[in-house]
Structure 1
Amino acid sequence: MSSTVLLNLLRCGRSTIARQTFLAARSSPETSTASGKLVGVVGVRQASGSARFDSDGSGQPVTWDSFGIWDNRIEEPVLLPSSIRYGKPIPQVSLSRVGSASILGLRKQNEDRLRIARIHDNLLYFAVFDGHGGPHAADYCYTFMEKFIRDALEEEDDLEKVLKKAFLDADKALHTHLSYFNNASFLTAGTTATVAMLRDGVELVVGSVGDSRAMLCKKGRATKLTKDHTPDRKDERHRIQRFGGFVTWNSVGQANVNGRLAMTRSIGDFHLKTSGVIAEPDTQRVNVQHANDSFLALTTDGINFLLSDQEICDAINQCQDPTEAADVIAQQVPGALSFALTVTLSRS
């Protein structure tokens, strides 16, 4: 539980002519072959090889400024359907622009898992699972959470409802899976789950259970998108007590459910379900404001114990690239298991 995962997203750069800020992404085979829905641009945006894409209606071509120390002038494939829908150029984000770092520290086993994927041309998936009691729950979510999300998307378009259904379905299926092993200790495994989905480059929806966090950096200031599910919260503690569970505090003042678990929501931990530990996530939806929002960070409790959200934001802003940012964050937890992942979308 002293591990760290960081997703650094949504870095914004400004147009020198339109003075409007957009997400930036490097051109890659993944983005340049997306069913003809993308248009690569350098300096001037063009559609169908001739029509000029002028976001401000001035008739002038859109050109791009440099993107600070993280990027120089780069090609940006554009999501045309999303751009038309929102009335401004929205680039397709390449999943190839990822940096990561992992430090095992004094731990014997890494129980953390993370996953990134492009579910559809216009929908990105980022997930962090901080396991405890063994890797079984985190492994299962790493492998199957995306499937449950895809299944839910066939029935529902609202991403908040999609995430709630996917979390509950994953929890139910995990119980069935672990029961096959006929090993009671497996049923005590659990994991946090923090999932962020970015649709159309604008709609950001986050779902979370446990004490892993998500925060958005707006104009250089950190804004929380999740709340820790711990017994310290009055509403969470009351639910535990209504179910017949109890809360104790250890020698360092950490509250635990039935003296065993430091969180009140998780996927797995089936020995504590009757005591009020649930898998239903809290969700939040925000629209990315390209001129103000620079990145999204997902972190687990190891880094949150030492660094505030603002300190994480400041540290990333001082790094040269996403790989360095991931390494810097991971190095903040000497002696502990640390894992950091950075995904750069654009930079102001």
Structure 2
Amino acid sequence: MSTATLINLVRNGGYQVRRRAVLTSRLLQDEKRPTAACYSSTSERRASRFDPDGSGRPTTWDTFGIWDNRIDEPILLPPSIKYGKPIPKVSLANVGCASHIGKRKENEDRFDYAQLTEDILYFAVYDGHGGAAAADFCDKYMEKYIKEFLAEEENLENVLNKAFLEINKAYERHAHLSADATLMNSGTTATVALLRDGIELVVASVGDSRALLCRKGKAMKLTIDHTPERKEEKDRIRKCGGFVAWNSLGQPHVNGRLAMTRSIGDLDLKNSGVIAQPETKRVQVKKGLLNRDSNIRTKGHHRYLMQVALPT
């Protein structure tokens, strides 16, 4: 090695040593310097995924990757893998119910909720009229019929369609075998929701009970009331030989008696076009990292409310 090369190497090496010493000194001064409450300089440090607090310190697992958006809820692992996003588990402990009898002498409303299978939750509200017999019957047996059809059918809309029609037939058999003639005039609305994997929500309804989904603070209708005011409903009633009459308050009723065109029960009006065939709606609950949908509300005649709080 020549003398010139050796001198150059020493000079460069000395420069690198001095540079490291200066940088170390500056870092120590930055650590000791108090942090200002507000920055006005355009040269302030900016946070990034690899430098989350702009401190210049290396990132850790507490601030890296998915931990930036961790969810403080139990996670359903199979659905999370299936849908490609974290799916929080919906607990039945978060279901709340309230009922107000209004001016009636007895409360004919019924509700039910259950874990039908490992991945399907069941929620239902029945608003009875003409006695509580039909609402009680649905409250007791609807879950059973849904389970039976779940064993042979994957499509939840088809499951609910079949369950509604079958339970109406079962109630008709029960009423004909009973010595209580009032069972023929008893009926109920039915609003039933099935939640699969914590993300697939299917709602079926007959009557004028309502299901609402609260999305980003706004109510989203999941059902439409079955009343004689709807043209297609009124046309079916008239086609089947029934008629629509308006009371003194201007409210339409089937054959002057029933304010809805679909129900379970009301057997004396089935030949007049009142059917038990539900309308269904399927939506996807957006939870995971976005977590937009906070609850499902089911309401009957403005007197009954069931709220299911989804994880936030």
Which category of TM-score, normalised to the shorter sequence, fits these structures? 0.7 to 0.9
Partners of 2:125 and 2:205 in 1: how far apart?
A: 9
Q: 1:92 touches 1:122 (CA, 8 Å); kept in 2?
A: no
Is 1:219–2:228 an aligned residue pair? no
Partners of 2:276 and 2:197 in 1: how far apart?
A: 28
1:143 to 140, 144, 156: 140
Q: Which amino acid aligns with 1:200?
A: D
Deviation at 1:255, TM superposition (A): 0.4
- The percentage of counterpart residues that share the same residue type is 56
Deviation at 1:154, TM superposition (A): 1.1
Q: 2:213 touches 2:296 (CA, 8 Å); kept in 1?
A: yes
Is 1:244–2:209 an aligned residue pair? no
Deviation at 1:206, TM superposition (A): 0.4
SS in structure 1 at match of 2:139 = helix
Partners of 1:64 and 1:214 in 2: how far apart?
A: 31
Deviation at 1:228, TM superposition (A): 0.6
Deviation at 1:64, TM superposition (A): 4.2
Write the deviation string for residues 127-167 of structure 1: whole angstroms up to 9, x where unpaired: 00000000000000001000010011111100000000000
- Structure 1, unaligned runs of 5 or more: 1-16, 19-52, 66-73, 304-337
- Tell which has more relative contact order, 1 or 2 (C-alpha 8 A, sep 6+): 1
Cα–Cα, structure 1 residues 202 and 161, in superposed 2: closer, same or farther, change >3 Å?
same
Q: 1:217 touches 1:295 (CA, 8 Å); kept in 2?
A: yes
Deviation at 1:59, TM superposition (A): 4.6
Partners of 1:146 and 1:190 in 2: how far apart?
A: 18
Q: Which amino acid aligns with 1:142?
A: D
Partners of 2:104 and 2:66 in 1: how far apart?
A: 57
Alignment of 1:118-157 (within 5 A): 118-157=115-154
Alignment of 1:92-111 (within 5 A): 92-111=89-108
Cα–Cα, structure 1 residues 133 and 85, in superposed 2: closer, same or farther, change >3 Å?
same
Partners of 2:69 and 2:208 in 1: how far apart?
A: 42
Structure 1 equivalent of residue 42 of structure 2: none
- Structure 2, unaligned runs of 5 or more: 1-47, 50-60
Cα–Cα, structure 1 residues 82 and 60, in superposed 2: closer, same or farther, change >3 Å?
closer
Q: If the length of structure 2 is used for normalisation, what is the TM-score?
A: 0.76
1:340 to 299, 302, 305: 305
Partners of 2:94 and 2:135 in 1: how far apart?
A: 24
Q: 2:297 touches 2:305 (CA, 8 Å); kept in 1?
A: no
Is 1:229–2:194 an aligned residue pair? no
- Equivalent pairs counted in the alignment come to 250
Task: Give the structure with higher Rg (CA).
Answer: 2
Partners of 1:220 and 1:96 in 2: how far apart?
A: 22
Partners of 1:217 and 1:144 in 2: how far apart?
A: 29
Is 1:300–2:300 an aligned residue pair? yes
Q: Which amino acid aligns with 2:93?
A: S
Structure 1 equivalent of residue 266 of structure 2: 269
Deviation at 1:63, TM superposition (A): 5.3
Partners of 1:96 and 1:222 in 2: how far apart?
A: 23
Partners of 1:187 and 1:62 in 2: how far apart?
A: 60
Q: 1:216 touches 1:295 (CA, 8 Å); kept in 2?
A: yes
Q: 2:295 touches 2:307 (CA, 8 Å); kept in 1?
A: no
RMSD of equivalent CA atoms: 2.1
Q: Which amino acid aligns with 2:85?
A: K
Partners of 1:60 and 1:160 in 2: how far apart?
A: 35
Deviation at 1:224, TM superposition (A): 1.0
Partners of 2:97 and 2:168 in 1: how far apart?
A: 28
Cα–Cα, structure 1 residues 83 and 271, in superposed 2: closer, same or farther, change >3 Å?
same
Partners of 2:212 and 2:76 in 1: how far apart?
A: 25
Partners of 2:218 and 2:65 in 1: how far apart?
A: 35
Partners of 1:80 and 1:198 in 2: how far apart?
A: 16
Cα–Cα, structure 1 residues 220 and 59, in superposed 2: closer, same or farther, change >3 Å?
closer
Structure 2 equivalent of residue 161 of structure 1: 158
SS in structure 2 at match of 1:161 = helix
Partners of 2:197 and 2:243 in 1: how far apart?
A: 44
Deviation at 1:102, TM superposition (A): 3.2
SS in structure 2 at match of 1:120 = coil
Deviation at 1:178, TM superposition (A): 1.5
Deviation at 1:77, TM superposition (A): 1.9
